[in-house]
Structure 1
Amino acid sequence: MFKLGAERKPLDTEQDLASAPTFSRLENAANNRDLYRLAQAFVEQFVASYAKPPKMIVLDMDHSEDQTHGQQELAFYNHHYQSHCYLPLFLFEGLSGKFITAALRPGKRPKGAENAMILKRVLKRLRQHWPETRILLRGDAHFANVELMQLALDDPYTDFLFGLTGNSRLKKLAEPHLERTRRLHDTRCHNARLAEQEPPQRSRTFHEIDYQARSWPQNFRTVLKAEVMGLGDNPRFVVTSLKDPAPEMLYTELYCARGQDENFIKMMKNDLASDRTSDCRFAANHMRLFFSCAAYVLHQALRTELLQGTELSRAQPSTVIIKLFKLAVRVAQYKDRIKLHLPSSCPVEALLHTITERLYRLPRPSPNTS
């Protein structure tokens, strides 16, 4: 089947595919320039996935723990995760789930300058194609640094929305709002007991507070989620350059939606083995990460282009792999054709026919296309 995908005859032993040692040599042959060009190629394919410039995209960024178990280059101990690991950076488009690019990193916590260096290159490539598309940079609290904020300020069509780590100053500003929320929670619990109903598990209100860190180039909008639960207070903060919408919608609809980015990363790790970074060389492990990224791009295209309207339109990669690829098939090669015989009780036979017809109708690239 892999030979068919490579347009070779499946039973022709003179056209065998690459062996595991050949792939190992390929992984270890990659240098820094190759990896940089591959990272750019992922950005270019992301741009090419749009027929016309979008009005807005959300650039979700997040790091993920990639545990190492050996003497891999640049694998460091990270106290937050309490493991020796890499800490790769993943960039996804938050509205569609499309993959933009990734960078394998050492296991240490990234600084703002490093994040800004990577994002600046990505934004430069995007702006070459989409000069007026609105771009929202979105991430959790360790992206709330002055370098990324300034990167957004330098572009009139770019905004940011980051989580913000609480400190003594923020907690002091939040205390009056938390006190009112505590009274609201107590009242709601009292009313529920009088009505012999289950008391609410939490109460929360949303507010804007006047706060500016010393390192910030200017005053930015800071939003507080004042949440009170049975176990205690749970204040949360976000900072943004957006003027709209209202605080509650900004937090619940815009910021909390970044949690979907973590699901995309889980697909990459659990289903597509992006954490298979067991080579001793850092560049080879980066190449392995890019193999998984390419698999995610193929899965996203398959799901959005060919599986729309089917039972797998929202399926994760592992489900697609099990139902469509891990099938028993008998390959029969003739002089003028190749037939694939499915089992008589194949449960996804109709789905395979649908996908095959859709694939057949797709325009094929010309031989001169690079």
Structure 2
Amino acid sequence: ETHILVRGDSAYAREEIFYFCENQPLVDYVIAMGTNGVIKLRADDVIEKAKHEYEKKLAPITELMDSLFQKKEDLEEVKKLVPISTWHRSIRYKTEKSWSCQRRVVTKVCYGSDGLKMRHVVTSLPASKIPPSKLYTKKYCPRGEMENRIKEQQLDLLADRTSTQTFQSNQLRLWIHSWAYVLINAFRQHCLKKTSLAKATVGRIRLNLLKLGARIKITCRRIIIAIASACPYQDILSIANKRIKTIPNTG
């Protein structure tokens, strides 16, 4: 019963992806799309509202600065300090040929010192479930954090090593790297909380805690791992060792 939300940039704004997600149970999508004249025209009133709101905030500052400074460039610098006006609009939209049906498009309109900026996302989430502003900030914007986690897996665990000759073997490699990431993330979450490594990246955890020189002694009853007394992370290792023993074995 897991709900899956597919996020993506405008390269994924394709009918095939929309259609697939719409025909899967418990799957929704929020995907960026490029602007066009039709969408911009339908957002005209919101653009005017954002522009009017920004100019209203700018007017008293402009009057004050005009009385204090004569250089135009000083005024331009001050304009950048005025908060950007942001508005959202939700519409039903269908392309002329490529889309099979109307879909919900949310437009984010920003007006500031650099003029007008617009962003659009197409989504399967209905307006009755989530309003335009929350959809953009709560559902689409976390895509950046998601991509940071993908980058962490690629750089710190070398998950982009897909150099074998077949698709299946490359897929298996990616799965193994993904399992490793899940394990290290669970280790960070359960064993490193309230330590200096509680928010450390996977790469730092590997470097500081896992890639240590140690002496290993195996007896018939136990395995003894001895690390150097000068190890700077021995306190954290001790805490992690105690906590990992309390995790129930679900195997």
Q: TM-score, normalised by structure 2?
A: 0.78
Deviation at 1:194, TM superposition (A): 4.3
- Aligned residue type for 2:82: P
- Aligned residue type for 1:345: A
CA distance in 2, matches of 1:365, 1:232: 57
- Aligned residue type for 2:216: V
Moved more, 281-290 or 295-304: 281-290
Deviations, residues 268-296 of structure 1 (Å, cap 9, x unaligned) = 11111122345566655444433322321
User: Comparing both chains, which one has the higher relative contact order based on Cα–Cα distances under 8 Å and sequence gaps of 6 or more?
Assistant: 1
CA RMSD of aligned residues (A): 2.8
Structure 1 residue aligned with 2:10: 141
| Mapping 1:76-225, distance limit 5 Å | 130=1, 133-155=2-24, 157-194=26-63, 199-200=81-82, 202-214=84-96, 215-225=98-108
The structure-2 alpha-carbon separation of the partners of 1:282 and 1:152, relative to structure 1 and needing over 3 Å to count, comes to closer
Tell me, yes or no, if structure 1 residue 347 matches structure 2 residue 224: no
Aligned length: 235
- Aligned residue type for 2:60: N
Deviations, residues 286-317 of structure 1 (Å, cap 9, x unaligned) = 44433322321221221233333433333210
Deviation at 1:336, TM superposition (A): 4.7
The structure-2 alpha-carbon separation of the partners of 1:339 and 1:152, relative to structure 1 and needing over 3 Å to count, comes to closer
- Aligned residue type for 1:261: M
CA distance in 2, matches of 1:207, 1:360: 52
Tell me, yes or no, if structure 1 residue 249 matches structure 2 residue 110: no
Identity of matched residues, %? 31
**Structure 2 gaps, min length 5:** 66-77
| Mapping 1:1-370, distance limit 5 Å | 130=1, 133-155=2-24, 157-194=26-63, 199-200=81-82, 202-214=84-96, 215-242=98-125, 243=127, 244-279=129-164, 284-334=169-219, 336-364=221-249
CA distance in 1, matches of 2:171, 2:27: 29
- Aligned residue type for 1:163: A
Describe the SS at the equivalent of 2:89. strand
Structure 1 residue aligned with 2:73: none
Moved more, 298-307 or 250-259: 298-307
The structure-2 alpha-carbon separation of the partners of 1:326 and 1:179, relative to structure 1 and needing over 3 Å to count, comes to same
Which structure has the greater CA radius of gyration?
Answer: 2
**Structure 1 gaps, min length 5:** 1-129
Describe the SS at the equivalent of 1:160. strand
- Aligned residue type for 2:152: M
Describe the SS at the equivalent of 2:110. strand
Deviation at 1:230, TM superposition (A): 2.6
**Structure with the largest fraction of helix:** 2
